[in-house]
Structure 1
Amino acid sequence: MHDFSHCQIVLGSSSPQRKLLLESLFPEANVRIVPPDNPDELEFTGSKNLFAIMRQLSQIARTKSENVTSQLLDPTATYVLTADTVIFVPDDFDTYLVLGKPPEEDRDGVVRAWFLDHYLGKTHHAMTAICLRVPGGTVHEAFVKTAVSMEVASEEMVDWYLSTGEPAGKAGGYAIQGLGSIFVSSIQGSLSNVVGLPLRETRELFERVVQNGDS
């Protein structure tokens, strides 16, 4: 295991969950938050197969990295970590439907339909693209996919969950680290990936970069 106590890391995200996860891997004093100053992100319209989803995820994470790096006075003195996570569900033969953050307008109706049509009694996937820009400017990335299965539940249970307000602003309309976990029957893969930052794979990415001397 390498000692990363010297690493200064900029996290390009406003997500409190990603901040907490990253600070569980590295000293809090070494982590600085610099969110992208452009909230607009590429959409997944037309991204129907796994390759297309990965390509779009990669582009979003890299665009965030470029935006955050441009805000830094000395980007050669720090690591820049960005990520993007999406939920996708089977749509048709070998194709998928990406579920992003629910719209503010009719949020409850949209998320309710997601639960009833795609989640309850079925398995969906969460995928994260991690983008790590090292002080030398080289970009490294990794993809992590997790399968999440949910129990069959009543519409009343879904309506109760919507009433808590938790789905607001959450990719896929639920928080697995919160009350959304009551619907989950099993997880295959990384739990932290579903939350927004896969811990083991993020640590391994840093390990690999340092081991190869690309810093």
Structure 2
Amino acid sequence: MHQRQRPGPFRAATPLILASASPRRRELLASLGLDFEVVPSQAPEPPPMAGERPDAYALRLARAKALDVAAPRPGALVIGADTIVVLGDRVLGKPRDAADAMATLTRLAGRTHVVITACCLAGAGGAVREFAVETRVRLAHPGQEALAAYAAGGEPLDKAGSYAIQGAGAFLVERIEGSPSNVIGLPLKELAAALVELEAIRPASPGPAAGGRGPA
């Protein structure tokens, strides 16, 4: 799938591939004004290993996704990403069903947790840059009935942590410390900086101002 370029602050200077089927990541990356291809990774997502730090776990998954797609695509830079939710020292994955989503939401309600998105930028020769960004999120506790109704609505079922701040789940969010886009699935500030440093993207040339006049 090809994502067409739209107005934004950057342009791609090398072929870019997003190794994710997530429509949220696709929209975030497109907001930068980039032309890129979407090739979802088929790499498995195993659970954390014993004693593995949450950020190291997220980086391991992002790396696996990026390398899976990059291997047969020489000349392209592949963006792999993985987002996890951490409460204390426990990684909360995507819920199995509405009941599991309700259990997760009950744990998170009224507490602060950490959302980690790891990114790996890779070419056919291997990883060239990787980083993980943390955002602290505090959820309100609107009551068990509201949590149950949200869990039953279906939105939490494909979300780490069982909520989506870009959807109806925004009613749960009391406070965010850090990058909101990181919670959605891509830390745009850090990702754009890394792509610029790698010369994979460059600032877009500004067009004429709306309603402006050309040279006299």
Structure 2 length-normalised TM: 0.82
Kindly indicate whether residue 120 of structure 2 is the aligned counterpart of residue 131 of structure 1.
yes
Kindly indicate whether residue 83 of structure 2 is the aligned counterpart of residue 85 of structure 1.
yes
**Identity, % of aligned positions:** 35
Give the superposition deviation at 1:135: 7.0
Kindly indicate whether residue 30 of structure 2 is the aligned counterpart of residue 23 of structure 1.
yes
Name the CA distance, whole Å, in 2 between partners of 1:69 and 1:162. Answer: 36
Give the superposition deviation at 1:124: 0.5
Give the superposition deviation at 1:156: 0.5
The 5 Å alignment of 1:156-167 reads: 156-167=145-156
The residue that corresponds to 1:121 in the other structure is 110
Q: In structure 1, list runs of 5 or more residues that go unmatched.
A: 91-95
Q: Is the 8 A contact 1:10 1:31 kept in 2?
A: yes
Give the superposition deviation at 1:37: 2.6
The residue that corresponds to 1:152 in the other structure is 141
Kindly indicate whether residue 77 of structure 2 is the aligned counterpart of residue 70 of structure 1.
no
Q: 2:92 aligns with which of 95, 99, 103?
A: 99
Q: Is the 8 A contact 1:47 1:56 kept in 2?
A: no
Give the superposition deviation at 1:208: 2.1
Name the CA distance, whole Å, in 2 between partners of 1:209 and 1:79. Answer: 10
Q: Deviations over 1:125-184 (max 9, x none)?
A: 100111012577552011100000111211010011012110111111111110111011
Name the CA distance, whole Å, in 1 between partners of 2:77 and 2:124. Answer: 6
Q: In structure 2, list runs of 5 or more residues that go unmatched.
A: 1-8, 201-216
Q: Cα–Cα, structure 1 residues 41 and 97, in superposed 2: closer, same or farther, change >3 Å?
A: same
Describe the SS at the equivalent of 1:197: coil
| Count of aligned positions | 192
Q: Deviations over 1:187-215 (max 9, x none)?
A: 0000010100111111011122229xxxx
Name the CA distance, whole Å, in 2 between partners of 1:171 and 1:23. Answer: 22
Between Structure 1 and Structure 2, whose CA radius of gyration is higher? 2
Q: CA RMSD in A?
A: 2.0
